[in-house]
Amino acid sequence: MEEKVESKKPQWAMVIDLDRCTGCEACVVACHAENNIRIAGEGPAAGGRSVNWIRVERYYEGEYPDIRVKFMPVMCQHCEEAPCEPVCPVYATYHTDEGLNGQVYNRCVGTRYCANNCPYTVRFFNFLDPVWPEPLSKSLNPEVSVRYRGVMEKCTFCIQRIRKGEDKAKDEGREIRDGDVNPACVQSCTARAMTFGNIADPTSEVARLSKSGRASRLMEELGTKPRVTYLSRGD
């Protein structure tokens, strides 16, 4: 085991207020643009091979016309006790000291055990090499690698933005603070339903919100200790 290099690392976490989510899917679009997520096409998508690091789940309550729709954005929960990690035979998925569930594409040999073991079904396998129709291939984000055939991929909490935020904080010689790092989904959320930050810092917005009485975690009973907290609807 590696000894811990720095003692005080930020611990990244997210809070999603379901009372605010309108289900507009701006987060999904932003995520696709930011993270070079391939476009599956109609046929493969129908066959369950589309890739969406974040998706918006819909729940219907009641009968028409007295119907209510509830939305719930679901991405990798970055579990502290992640079920995907111990099953990887090559340590391609591992836990970083910042509490992220990392995915190393070079190491991945494509056993797909991790996706099988994930209760949230947020891991996606590249069955084919990605293809972008022109001119979309020119809009790829240079800060993110383009995944190739045979590797698993999933939400990284926009690791490239985390690194950029940490770099900026180090330049200014200070600790990381709220607003330094915002993943693409959080930045694009029109209703400001999502909050991202360092949960180890008690003064941060995520630390405050995650202690709310409305807070719960997805499938908490499995003991995965997710890093994403949902604030339930107040109805």
Question: Could you list the residues that contact other proteins (CB under 8 A)?
Answer: 2, 5-6, 94, 96-98, 100, 102, 104-107, 143-145, 156, 159-160, 163, 167, 170-171
Helix (H, G, I), strand (E, B) or coil at 3: coil
Least distance (Å) between residue 108 CB and other proteins: 11
Assign residue 99 a region: left if phi > 0, alpha if psi is -120 to 50, beta otherwise? left
Contacts of 112 (CB under 8 A, 6+ apart): 125, 152
Q: What is the DSSP secondary-structure string of 53-72?
A: SSEEEEEEES-TTS-EEEEE
Tell me whether residue 151 or residue 209 sits nearer to other proteins (CB atom). 151
Measuring CA to CA, how many Å separate 68 from each of 124, 183, 193? 30, 29, 19
134, 33 Cβ separation under 8 angstroms? no
Tell me whether residue 2 or residue 63 sits nearer to other proteins (CB atom). 2
Tell me whether residue 23 or residue 102 sits nearer to other proteins (CB atom). 102
**52-62 core/surface letters (b: 16 or more CB in 10 A; e: else):** bbbbbeeeeee
Tokens (6 digits) for 7: 């003692």
Least distance (Å) between residue 157 CB and other proteins: 10
Tell me whether residue 167 or residue 220 sits nearer to other proteins (CB atom). 167
Least distance (Å) between residue 153 CB and other proteins: 11
Least distance (Å) between residue 54 CB and other proteins: 17
Least distance (Å) between residue 167 CB and other proteins: 6
Tell me whether residue 174 or residue 211 sits nearer to other proteins (CB atom). 174
Measuring CA to CA, how many Å separate 192 from each of 18, 24, 45, 119, 187? 10, 12, 29, 27, 8
Tell me whether residue 5 or residue 67 sits nearer to other proteins (CB atom). 5
Q: What CA–CA distance (Å, rounded) separates 94 from 77?
A: 14
Least distance (Å) between residue 159 CB and other proteins: 5
Least distance (Å) between residue 216 CB and other proteins: 28
Tell me whether residue 120 or residue 157 sits nearer to other proteins (CB atom). 157
Q: Give the up-direction half-sphere exposure of residue 38: CA atoms within 13 A in the CB hemisphere.
A: 24
